[in-house]
Amino acid sequence: MSRLDINTPDQAQMVVDQLYHDMERRIVASGPGLCPVDMSLNFLTLCHAQTCGKCAPCRIGLGQLATLMRNILDGKGKMEDLDVLEETAQDIADTASCTIGIHAARLVLSGLKGFRDDYIEHITHNRCLGNMEQPVPCVALCPAKVDIPGYIALIRAGRSDDAVRLIRKDNPFPVACGYVCEHPCEARCRRHMLDDPINIRALKRYAVDTAGDVPQPACAEPTGKRIAVIGGGPGGLSCAYYLSLMGHSVTVYEKQKHLGGMLRYGIPSYRFPRELLDREIDSILSLGIEVHTNCTIGEDISFDEIHKNFDSIYIAIGAHNDKKAGIPGEESKGVTSAVELLREIGDDNIPNYQGKNVVIIGGGNVAMDVTRSAIRFGAKRVTCVYRRRQVDMTAQAEEVEGAIAEGAVLMTMHSPVRIESDENGNVTALITQKQLTGEIKRNRPSLMPDEVEETRIPADVIVEAIGQGIDINAFEVAGLPVYRGAISALSNSHLSSDSMDDVFAGGDCVSGPASDFAGPKGPPAPVPAGKVAAANIDEYLGFNHEITVDVDIPDAGLDDKTPHARVNTTERNADERKKDFICIECGLTDKGAMAEASRCLRCDHYGFGIFKGGRHSKW
């Protein structure tokens, strides 16, 4: 008999490990609309199975919680069961010996607090509070509610032009979305249960790249109504687009030299080529939209004058003011903001960073855009400073990895302390303090200074990319409701005050900065906000126009649904792409697009989608 053996996993453990992996996939792919009580019971049951069973709170208490929840789901629950459920869960959280039991009880407590109405609905009516109004996960998570399975099916059928027409029904910026969308739709793609989510954004780009010039649909008969849109970014232009299709006369007022908002003044051309943006905007304007650029409200024209001359107004001014870090030395020469820098780039005023040390403060997508742009401007060294961990950065992982591949230095866990300057006031360095992670609060670790010396980072240019503000002074003076530095409006774009029922507002100037095609976890994106505003302005004016498209969607087949690896796009070599502003991403080939499109499970036909007909053909 040997004293020791080399441990190797047995067959049972290998199968269990695979089950864990499969369960992880299913959890990730859980779509919206599922019963939260049922899901909580399943999570609790898993937690119960993971406990050691040594202490009574876990061994007995978690089982009692599961029994109570199961009775509620079976229609046997009583209102007093909620109190018992809460008291038992709290006792377990206070007395369990290990973290497994404590957090299992907290899971139940958070559910009782977060969706108590669902528990009550099960007890009183023996049914779920939720519904299946939009059960197709990718469509539900698309901010604009674009018919994703529909246009993927059209791409697979070789009908890219029809795919673009279908996208435009809900999103007038298919080209921009195909290049820079953060694709929240992919997060819950049911394909994840098999292998990997479908590369939806890449397929959209393939459609717009291969469709050619797709004419805009005809506008409805003129209504005689005039609407002013203040702000020529994606939100304002989206609203103007749909109002024009409805037959209304639209005039756009834009503060900057060019239209496009953050699509032009926030996204560098290496991500979204400027000529494609111009082409898309020209296509939207072809509907007969009047435009006034270089027009500042409160200076070139008053809000009252616009209010007097139009039947309705939509305000979509975005968030184009910069924010400061609030550290000493910010007034030094050479310190600028990401907003200011990107605005200059958008107007083709390219800075000269040859041979300079450039430091960027921030960890979001804007910080990455500035970091990668500075490299292309010839900077000697580009350093991105972020006070948290890399995993905590709000920038997309591929953007961070791309910046590092192009030569940027990423300094995480360093908090800016002050800015040094010389006798002439020119910036010379950024001083930072090393940070340590602390207690997790609101799902993010808190920070504390480490007991080490400060770090000096030489700098000729410092760019602060720490957020954006909203320029609302002219609108506040005009009497519009304002709350915490933003225009106060409801989810239907109506102002929160009844004093101006003909004025609507939406996008970043209401909800705070978001990407143009944001996901469900962030603020509402400008494009869907413009769509919502157009529908409600049309109704306010006494109409009920419908936006639809006459595209036949190919029938769903019975394809083999065996696992198939995701087809990813590639990027140009880092050594090559960092020298220019040519688009860095290589789109899908014909063969790659067909392979990726064929992976769609057609949830608009199979699964819950069929219960509601699978799609909304109009709005």
The full set of domains in the chain, from first to last, is 34-125 (1.20.1440.230), 137-216+549-612 (1.10.1060), 226-320+470-540 (3.50.50.60), 322-467 (3.50.50.60)
> Amino acid identity, residue 159?
R
Q: Summarize the chain as % helix, strand, coil (round to 5).
A: 40, 15, 45
Question: Quick one: pLDDT at residue 608?
Answer: 61
Output the 3-class SS for 487-519.
ECECCCCEECCHHHCCEEECCHHHHCCCCCCCC
Other beta carbons within 10 angstroms of residue 269's beta carbon come to 19
What is the predicted pLDDT for the residue at 519?
46
Please tell me the distance from the alpha carbon of residue 28 to that of residue 20, in angstroms, as a whole number: 12
Over residues 260-267, the mean pLDDT reads: 93
Q: Residue 389 pLDDT more than 70?
A: yes
Instruction: Tell me: pLDDT of 246 over 60.
Output: yes
The neighbouring-strand residues paired with 361 are 385, 464
Rounded Cα–Cα distance for residues 145 and 71 (Å)? 37
DSSP label of 114: H
Q: What pLDDT, on the 0 to 100 scale, is given for residue 132?
A: 47
- Give yes or no for residue 523 having a pLDDT over 50: no
Residue 491 predicted with pLDDT over 60? yes
Residue-averaged pLDDT of the chain:
91
d(CA 206, CA 553): 18
Evaluate the CA torsion angle 71, 76, 79, 81 in order and state its sign. negative
**pLDDT (0 to 100) of residue 323:** 85
Supply the pTM of this predicted model.
Answer: 0.88
223 pLDDT higher than 50: yes
Segment 388-412 mean pLDDT? 95
Query: Is 308 within 8 Å of 434 (Cβ atoms)?
Result: no
User: Please, which pLDDT band fits residue 19 given cuts at 50, 70 and 90?
Assistant: confident
Q: Which of 209, 188, 376, 219 is nearest to 288 (CA)?
A: 219
The 10s digit of each residue's pLDDT in 436-454 is: 999 888 888 899 999 999 9
| Local confidence band at 498 (pLDDT 50, 70, 90 cut-offs) | confident
Mean pLDDT along residues 56-77: 92
Task: Give residue 179's pLDDT.
Answer: 96
Answer yes or no: is pLDDT of 274 > 80: yes
Say what the pLDDT of residue 611 is.
55
User: What's the whole-number mean pLDDT along residues 157-169?
Assistant: 97
Judged against a pLDDT cut of 80, whether residue 319 lies above it is answered with yes
pLDDT tens for each residue of 505-519: 999 899 877 655 554
What are the two backbone dihedrals, phi and then psi, of residue 262, each rounded to the nearest 5 degrees? -70, -15
Q: Which residue in the block uniquely carries the two structure tokens 């059209």?
A: 154
Q: Residue 574 has which token pair? A: 């880092």
Share of the chain above pLDDT 70, in %: 96
Which residue, 465, 183, 188, is CA-closest to 341?
A: 465
Among the residue ranges 414-423, 487-496, 591-600, the one predicted with the least confidence is: 487-496
d(CA 326, CA 415): 12
Q: Which SS3 state, helix, strand or coil, does residue 445 take?
A: strand
Q: Which of 19-23, 131-135, 495-499 has the lowest mean pLDDT?
A: 131-135
